[in-house]
Chain A
């Protein structure tokens, strides 16, 4: 299980002034995002170590209508043994696992059983992905997933509250969801691809943190645009601002669209620069990803053997 010495985000009272004060200059954010990959790179042992660290922070995910218990068991096995044993042995990290497994509610019991308490199960909830089912049922969904053994709940926010600027409503909903989570950790999915502007992303991030989210997360993976570096920059800066206000460290989860090892390294470089080393642990950072792991495995084999690899040399999840 993910262990953490952190004090959980207790939230803050809703403060519209703070929300109104969130500012993002988009061209400047884009410049930073564009320049970063050219400014930072890690090579050789550092690259291998960083990629292993990325693996340890993956929420290995399956969120499909055709998920079955068999499919989920296979994924859980991959979560516990994310790369070939010989490769993990070679880099000296034989016990490496991913961060968690992320599934729909119906698959929670299978995943809990398959993981046997070695990794947390995260459940997407609250009418995922659109978040438009009756609010009462959205809260009930959280409670049922927690009862079924989910240690983490990925909720979706009501985008309409962001788009109409009803920040108080967003706060209230999110706070009630957090209460429904109980001891389970809550990741608030902003669906940034549907929020229109980076300024809205910053404001929604701040509101969700004030409402007690343990993590803020970019996307469901179902929007047309999912996690991006500029959006991540804005959300990380919001996390930093929230820490300065409250003292609480809130986690960050980019989800959807991170499928290459190289991209993962850019996210980690941004994380290290904007939030710092403490965030480079599974209790404060996750990748929501399904195909990223496969690319990392190939890169690790390259590091160990000096030869480029192909997918079929690595067990599927």
Chain B
């Protein structure tokens, strides 16, 4: 019997290998030893380490371990080049980015094969997804470079950006980092992952061909120590994609330095299937959700939540589908899953799997650095597999009963990167999607990515967006004011008065509250004692934050309602303008009337914004809609400025409330009475209880308490106290958003709104494919 006749009977799959000769030739051409790429040149190799093909274990090349000196030389090269690069015309930068896009396309197969050799991912993925999307990213950002002055007049690049990318999408994550940075006029020092540096090193060739000026792109290879050196170097901005654990370290390490930071971290994304879904479609969607790149994807749909009535049927169909998935040689054009990136990763995944109490279903996989597609059913939310990120081909499944319960389970995680919702009912799908607190939601789909669609996390999945207009903000330097002047501190003796004693209480959940600790402090102005206020302790902080959490209905209120309430607040403040002006003067000695006017102006402006910070419909290459929505951050705790004790409060309160956030306001230390006087205004202006909570006390004492509380989603500080570092350090615990002043002042009378809009909202991208 001939081979053909045998196969005619068996109808089995055969090998469909992709050639690797060109990639080998490229490696050979470099002697299989690489130095760093800086100032436009490939450096001499230093102390090197081996980079291996995980599918075979063979060594591919030796790559240099970047030292602190290497990093600082690269940063220096970037610094030297950046000024001139930022002065290149928008069109000039666009041409360079376009050249990079074309370069990636011209050498697409080399990059694809190299990526597959280095990472173990299937050639189909590196060819059709990684390289294709990387080129698309540079095309898209060539456009952003071209249009920068037009769309963002006055925008300034950060300067030198340190960028650390992971091993799961080595070239694509490079593109996500380098393209927007260059488009906005920054220079970069990029560190590829230790396990997968080869495509970044090949990218250096593209830079030269595309006319990237020497020093604008620098690539330093190495392990975590090299990354740490880069984070500690004299950079203006740090962008990191990787684990939440390292993200925390970087947040702590950069605290108080005043450099930009964006973090794209881990996830445990829910994949919600309602009983009215296209079940076969949803099963197939899981192939893209959890077995794409062997599940080594931060936004992998790793938690399957199926409505109870269809769970049995769904599991049966899913297990059958798993049986058809092909795991094997990543260079085979017809495998669904290749090798895991490294034997160490395989051991880690196996160890996690060994601990589960659930029922394990698996497909098949060859021996070596491979794992089969794996489904674990009968899991309770308490099982570690439902909570912890596996970063492998392991799907953890449980059931739900109602849409509300689906949302509850979907959000029962510290992560918030992505999610999928499957339903053929438009009401169910579109109601559920935005209720999942995550940066990217796919309706009836999974892992759709595009350069025009912002991508990034909520909660402990990090902050900052990559892609689209929202992604550009990460590479633009925010405006900064002058150094704060020292606050005038007045003193004196508590005054004896004939008037009835007034001690301003705190304001929690719409009610006045005595300080838990039972301590008060005097408030003094230029003419001596004015009044007394309570001193908040950590329990008062807790109470205020809990009250704010309870008031979550505010996030779902209409922009029109929020505008009405802010206008009403302005109206009631205006009615008591003289009284507030007098209190400002009493506490600060400054003229009160202009401060009150500025406050009313700020409230009006935020009332205006309440129904106008519209999202975008994003132009992605897909029939359907991709929506970039501006969602409220949640509970914001803000330390009010001394320099504008009323206008500042109005600005903070206006911005936070207009965008649908709840606020815990820490009153200005030296002039707290403008805040405490507001209670009555808030009460008469229909602000619902808990939406605004006000505490008085010592900012230095309260900052770690507030920033360390895990019920707060963002901390802002405009305080004159030196608390920026403490806030950013404490915020690392749960990676909450921070916006602090590093001791710099700010314009409080009609300040530009854009930075406030950005701080008060997070972009949530919702993909809604449709079609017949």
Q: CB within 8 Å of B: which residues of A?
A: 23-32, 38-50, 52-53, 91-93, 196-198, 237, 240, 268, 272-273, 277, 280, 303
- CB-contact partner of A93 in B5, B13, B15, B623, under 8 A: B5
Q: Please, which residues of chain A bring their CB within 8 A of the CB of B279? A: 23
**B69 interfacial contact with A, CB 8 Å:** no
Sample of 12 more A-B contacts, CB < 8 Å, known A23-B279, A197-B772, A240-B280: A23-B278, A25-B277, A28-B281, A28-B445, A29-B281, A45-B3, A49-B6, A50-B11, A92-B2, A93-B4, A93-B5, A303-B4
A288 to B4 alpha-carbon distance, docked (Å): 24
Q: Please, which residues of chain B bring their CB within 8 A of the CB of A196? A: 772
A53 and B124: CB pair below 8 A? Answer: no
Q: Closest residue to B424 on the A side, CB-wise?
A: A23
A28-B278, A31-B445 known; A42 vs B14 contact (CB < 8 Å): yes
| Top 9 A-B residue pairs of the complex, sorted by shortest distance between their CB atoms | A92-B2, A46-B14, A49-B7, A28-B281, A27-B769, A92-B5, A25-B278, A91-B4, A25-B281
A287 to B683 alpha-carbon distance, docked (Å): 76
**B771 interfacial contact with A, CB 8 Å:** yes
Interchain Cβ contacts under 8 Å between A and B, 9 examples: A28-B278, A28-B282, A28-B284, A39-B334, A43-B15, A44-B14, A48-B7, A198-B772, A268-B11
A42 and B13: CB pair below 8 A? Answer: yes
B4 and A43: CB pair below 8 A? Answer: no
Max chain A Cβ within 10 angstroms of own Cβ: one of B1, B7, B623:
B7
Q: Please, which residues of chain A bring their CB within 8 A of the CB of B398? A: none
Q: CB within 8 Å of A: which residues of B?
A: 1-8, 10-16, 124, 128, 276-282, 284-285, 288, 324, 333-334, 336, 422, 424, 444-445, 622-624, 769-772
B5 and A24: CB pair below 8 A? Answer: no
Q: Closest residue to A49 on the B side, CB-wise?
A: B7
Q: Closest residue to A268 on the B side, CB-wise?
A: B11
A273 and B334: CB pair below 8 A? Answer: no
- CB-contact partner of B770 in A27, A38, A40, A268, under 8 A: A27
Q: Please, which residues of chain B bring their CB within 8 A of the CB of A240? A: 280
Q: Please, which residues of chain A bring their CB within 8 A of the CB of B3? A: 45, 49
A272 to B10 alpha-carbon distance, docked (Å): 11
B4 and A237: CB pair below 8 A? Answer: no
- CB-contact partner of B280 in A41, A47, A92, A237, under 8 A: A237
B424 and A40: CB pair below 8 A? Answer: no
A28 and B285: CB pair below 8 A? Answer: yes
B14 and A280: CB pair below 8 A? Answer: no
A-side binding surface: helix, strand, loop or mixed? helix
Q: Please, which residues of chain B bring their CB within 8 A of the CB of A31? A: 284, 288, 445
A27 and B8: CB pair below 8 A? Answer: no
B16 and A24: CB pair below 8 A? Answer: no
Q: Please, which residues of chain A bring their CB within 8 A of the CB of B334? A: 39-42
- CB-contact partner of A52 in B8, B124, B772, under 8 A: B8
A27 and B445: CB pair below 8 A? Answer: yes
Q: Closest residue to B5 on the A side, CB-wise?
A: A92
A31 to B286 alpha-carbon distance, docked (Å): 13
A277 to B13 alpha-carbon distance, docked (Å): 11
Q: Please, which residues of chain B bring their CB within 8 A of the CB of A29? A: 278, 281
A39 and B336: CB pair below 8 A? Answer: yes
Q: Closest residue to A233 on the B side, CB-wise?
A: B280
Max chain B Cβ within 10 angstroms of own Cβ: one of A27, A32, A43, A53:
A27
Q: Please, which residues of chain B bring their CB within 8 A of the CB of A44? A: 14
A240 to B320 alpha-carbon distance, docked (Å): 11
Max chain A Cβ within 10 angstroms of own Cβ: one of B1, B4, B13, B281:
B4
A23 to B380 alpha-carbon distance, docked (Å): 29
Q: Closest residue to B321 on the A side, CB-wise?
A: A273
A253 to B505 alpha-carbon distance, docked (Å): 80
Q: Closest residue to A45 on the B side, CB-wise?
A: B3
- CB-contact partner of B11 in A28, A41, A45, A277, under 8 A: A277
B53 → A minimal CB distance (Å): 22
B333 and A41: CB pair below 8 A? Answer: yes
A105 to B454 alpha-carbon distance, docked (Å): 60
Q: Please, which residues of chain A bring their CB within 8 A of the CB of B16? A: 41-43
A38 to B112 alpha-carbon distance, docked (Å): 14
B301 → A minimal CB distance (Å): 13
A48 to B15 alpha-carbon distance, docked (Å): 13
A44 to B13 alpha-carbon distance, docked (Å): 11
Q: Please, which residues of chain B bring their CB within 8 A of the CB of A32? A: 281, 284
A24 and B771: CB pair below 8 A? Answer: no
- CB-contact partner of B281 in A24, A49, A92, A272, under 8 A: A24
A26-B772, A39-B336 known; A46 vs B13 contact (CB < 8 Å): yes
B4 and A52: CB pair below 8 A? Answer: yes
Q: Please, which residues of chain A bring their CB within 8 A of the CB of B128? A: 38
B445 and A50: CB pair below 8 A? Answer: no
A30 to B333 alpha-carbon distance, docked (Å): 21
Q: Please, which residues of chain A bring their CB within 8 A of the CB of B333? A: 41
A271 → B minimal CB distance (Å): 9
B444 and A28: CB pair below 8 A? Answer: yes
Q: Please, which residues of chain A bring their CB within 8 A of the CB of B336? A: 39
A24 to B334 alpha-carbon distance, docked (Å): 26
A54 to B334 alpha-carbon distance, docked (Å): 20
A5 → B minimal CB distance (Å): 15
Q: Please, which residues of chain B bring their CB within 8 A of the CB of A46? A: 7, 12-14
A38 and B124: CB pair below 8 A? Answer: yes
Q: Please, which residues of chain A bring their CB within 8 A of the CB of B424? A: 23, 25
Q: Please, which residues of chain A bring their CB within 8 A of the CB of B5? A: 49, 91-93
A115 to B204 alpha-carbon distance, docked (Å): 66
B320 → A minimal CB distance (Å): 9
Max chain A Cβ within 10 angstroms of own Cβ: one of B1, B14, B424, B770:
B14
A31 to B1 alpha-carbon distance, docked (Å): 39
B128 → A minimal CB distance (Å): 6
A91 → B minimal CB distance (Å): 4
B772 and A92: CB pair below 8 A? Answer: no
